[in-house]
Every structure is written in C-alpha cells, then in structure tokens.
Amino acid sequence: MKFVFLVAWREYSENAKTKGFWIGLFMFPVIILLSISVSVVLQTKGTPVRHYVLVDQSGKFAAVVESRLEQLKTHSQPGATDSNAPPRSFQAVTLPAGIDTNADLASLARELKPYLRGEKKVTADGREVELYAAILIPRDIEKQIVRPRAGPAGTNAAGGSIEYWSANLADSTLREAVEEAVNKEIRRREYLARGLDGAAIREVEQTHAPFASLNPNKEAGQEAVNGADIIRQWAPSGFVYLLWVAIFTISQMLLNNIIEEKSNRIIEVLLSSVTPGELMMGKLFGIAASGLTMVGVWMASLFGALIWKSGAASEITGQLLLALQTSNLIPMFLFYFLLGYLLYATLILALGSVCNTIKEAQSYMGMITMIMMVPMLTMTFIPKDPNGTLARVLSWIPIYTPFTMMNRVNAHPPLFDLIGTTLLLLASTAAALWMAGKIFRIGILRTGQPPKIIEMLRWIKG
C-alpha cells in the first residue's frame, strides 16, 4: 500500500506540473465566469438604444407605432422605479434637416441611405447617433392593404408597401413590432369599416383559460413550476457534459502517462521495485486525485461564480444556484465521476499497457471515443423522457451508467434503477480492474506490435 501511495503521489505531483493540468483546471472556471459575465453584460448593455425615423405620409399609423415601441424596454429590472426606468429599446428621431417629409418614398430612401449606412449621423437629444432604421409609410397605404379573396389590391411599383430600411438584418424586433402595430391598427379600422364592434372583438381575442405547469414531484401546495424547476431538469445535462469532459481529459492524461513510461522503458525499473498491481493502482489513484482536484476546482468555481453573480444582475444565475442547492446534483456528479473514471481509466490502462507509442494507442482511443460519444448524443434527449426506455436501457450498460444516471438524477429514477445500476457499475469496474490487471502485467513489458484482441483474451484467461 505504501508503494501504491508513492506511485500515486508521483503521478499527482508530476501531473500538477504539466500545462495541460492547469489549462484543464482553469479553462472551466474561465468559461463559466465569461459566460455569466457576458450574459449579464448583454442583458444590461448588450442592446443599446437604437434610433429610427418614422415617416408616416398617411398620417394614420405614427401614433400606434409609437405607443407599441414605447413598451419595448432595453432591460426590465425587477424592482426598478420610475426614476431609473430602463430606456426604450427604440427611440424615434426627427428627420435630418433638409429632407422633405412629403417627397416620394424613393427619394426619401435615397436621402436616408447615407445615414442608414452610418456615413452620416442623426441628432437625438443633442447627441450625434447612428440611424438604425427608417420606416417609410406611403401616403396611399390604405389602398395597398391585402385582403383575402380580393387578392392584392392594385399593387404597383411606385407606391406600395411600407418600407423598412435597416442595415441590420439579424435583429428583426423593430420590424416585427412596427408590422404588428400597423396591422393591428388596420384591422381595427377594418372592423369599424365593416360595422363590427372593434372593442368587443378585442375583448373576445383576449379571453383565455388559465394554464399552469405543475410538477408532481414537488411538495403539495408548491407544485407550481418556476424557472428553477426548469433549470433543475436541464442542469443534469450540463453535468453530463462536464462529466464527459472530465473523464475524457484525465483518461487522456493517463494514456499519455502510461505510454511515456512504456516507451521510455522506465517501466522495467519500476517493476523491479513495485508489483504491476501496485503500479496500476498507484496510477489509478494518482490520476484520480488529479481528476478530483480538477472537478473540485470546477465545482468550487461554479458555486463561487454563481454566488458572486447571483444578485440582481442575473436572474438565471440565481435560479441555477437554487437548483444546485436544492438538488443532489453535485454529490451525484462526484460519485459518478469517480465510478466512471475508474471504469474508463481501467480500460485505458489496459490499452496503454499494450501500446508502445501514442500513435498506436490513438487508433484504439478512437474506438473508445466513439463509444463515449453515445452519452453526448443522447444527453439532450434523456431529460425529455428521463425514465423512458432509452434512458433505462442506457443506464444498465455500465460504460454509460455514469452519464445516463447523471442525466436522470433530477427525474427521480426508480430506486431499483438507482441501486441496481450502481451495483452493476461497481461489479463491472471490479471485473475490469481484474482483467486490466492481467493485461497490464503482460502488456507492460511487451515491445513490438500491439497484441490482437484474441491474444489479450488469452492473457486474461491465463
């Protein structure tokens, strides 16, 4: 046992000196922090106030458009008072001086293009700003209204549609809001024109049955589904991904490590001092410690970042934090990490022991990677049906147990699944360890071509 510890300690301390380890350690916290910060920044500052001009030659829609756009705020902060009410997303500006409101749309557009392209600026509240969009409503727009059955009414090239000019094609919020407001107004007028009671229709349109999402797993009286519930259901997928990255990263570490010893022939000196079993266990534990350090730092930084950022700044971080605190995601993550690691690491050790170069090992590693892809592919399906056939079948395949069960953690899988799969996983890990031990003992001293599978089976039997 002392020798196992010595080997493990060297693995750990040498690993801690490699760049890969530190990159692995900090990559995740950096990503977490960045993504939280970016989402917060985007929410508060990401969409600046945008300026538009509205030329309504018909004179009938400007007011409704304005009142619709009034409702679009850049960011709605809970508890914001009137004094610090968030600014509107879209702010109207007056036409730049020298442009005639009554000119035809073509010449209006021509005149506005330099502003829309950012070559010229418009003035808003005494500041020079970029013109984001121009909405041009032709004088005869009412003649252009499209009605079912009647077909397009006298569409012509000169007059015609409402023109929405903007260099930004990605964000259609403004266009949609304007379109909605104009159409609503047109319909209101249409109701009137046909002698229908517009107000009554509006009332009818707003009738609806109350609808609530409830979760049977929550305590009576508190079944209402909130944001944290939804996050809680999806968070396991995130952890599956973490699990996958963590196991994959340190498996790779282990493989490199064993191949180094083998290709450097250090193994022989080691084996004159320790038994193959001690060496293998030492490696497993040493690298497990590296892996645990890594995921420990990940979890700590995830928590830290969530607590730090979970104030008023971001609603999601708060809900995520709540979801983590009120479920056993993290203990389960550590549990499945350890078991999953042991199983995969054992396979990798056996594999590494029969290969002499990383190149030889890569082809086998490709196979393992393909096998490992399955949890990634099913990661997003399982939460939708966490106790369904796919989920249950995958749970009972030991190499997929950690990932699948992790994915199901918050869906209250049957106790039978929970305990049964864990026992099966433990048993397979023990069996894999035993087999790997046999392969390791012979493979580790072998040089030349990697053995065939049949040959390895013979070693296991022998």
Q: Closest separation between CB of residue 342 and other proteins, Å? A: 24
Q: Closest separation between CB of residue 444 and other proteins, Å? A: 9
Q: Using CA atoms, how far apart are residues 433 and 339, in angstroms rounded to an integer?
A: 12
268 binds other proteins (CB under 8 A): yes
Residue 20 or 114 having the CB closest to other proteins: 20
Q: Using CA atoms, how far apart are residues 336 and 243, in angstroms rounded to an integer?
A: 8
Using the rule CB under 8 A, give the single segment among 77-85, 110-118, 255-263, 308-316 that binds other proteins: 255-263
Residue 99 or 460 having the CB closest to other proteins: 460
Per DSSP, the three-state class of 86 is coil
H or E stretch at 90: strand 90-92
Q: Using CA atoms, how far apart are residues 34 and 53, in angstroms rounded to an integer?
A: 36
Q: Closest separation between CB of residue 2 and other proteins, Å? A: 9
449 binds other proteins (CB under 8 A): no
- According to CB under 8 A, which one of 6, 103, 334, 390 is a site residue for other proteins? 6
Q: Using CA atoms, how far apart are residues 411 and 384, in angstroms rounded to an integer?
A: 10
- According to CB under 8 A, which one of 41, 266, 307, 367 is a site residue for other proteins? 266
Q: Closest separation between CB of residue 3 and other proteins, Å? A: 6
Residue 161 or 264 having the CB closest to other proteins: 264
Sheet holding 163-166, edge to edge: 90-92, 50-56, 131-137, 163-166
CA angle 161, 166, 169 (to 5 degrees): 100
Residue 50 or 262 having the CB closest to other proteins: 262
17 binds other proteins (CB under 8 A): yes
Amino acid letter for position 115: Y
- According to CB under 8 A, which one of 32, 112, 274, 425 is a site residue for other proteins? 274
Task: Please tell me what DSSP assigns to residue 150.
Answer: T
356 binds other proteins (CB under 8 A): no
110 binds other proteins (CB under 8 A): no
The alpha carbon of 32 is separated from its chain's Cα centroid by a whole number of angstroms, namely 11
- According to CB under 8 A, which one of 41, 106, 269, 300 is a site residue for other proteins? 269
Q: Label the pairing between strands 122-124 and 127-129.
A: antiparallel
Using the rule CB under 8 A, give the single segment among 5-13, 163-171, 235-243, 246-254 that binds other proteins: 5-13
18 binds other proteins (CB under 8 A): yes
Residue 274 or 425 having the CB closest to other proteins: 274
Neighbours of 119 (CB within 10 A): 9
Task: Phi first, then psi: give them for residue 327, nearest 5 degrees.
Answer: -135, 170
Q: Using CA atoms, how far apart are residues 126 and 381, in angstroms rounded to an integer?
A: 54
Question: Which residues from 193-232 bind other proteins, rule CB under 8 A?
Answer: none
Q: Using CA atoms, how far apart are residues 177 and 181, in angstroms rounded to an integer?
A: 6
User: What residue ranges bind other proteins (CB under 8 A)?
Assistant: 3, 6-7, 10, 14, 17-18, 260-261, 263-266, 268-275, 445
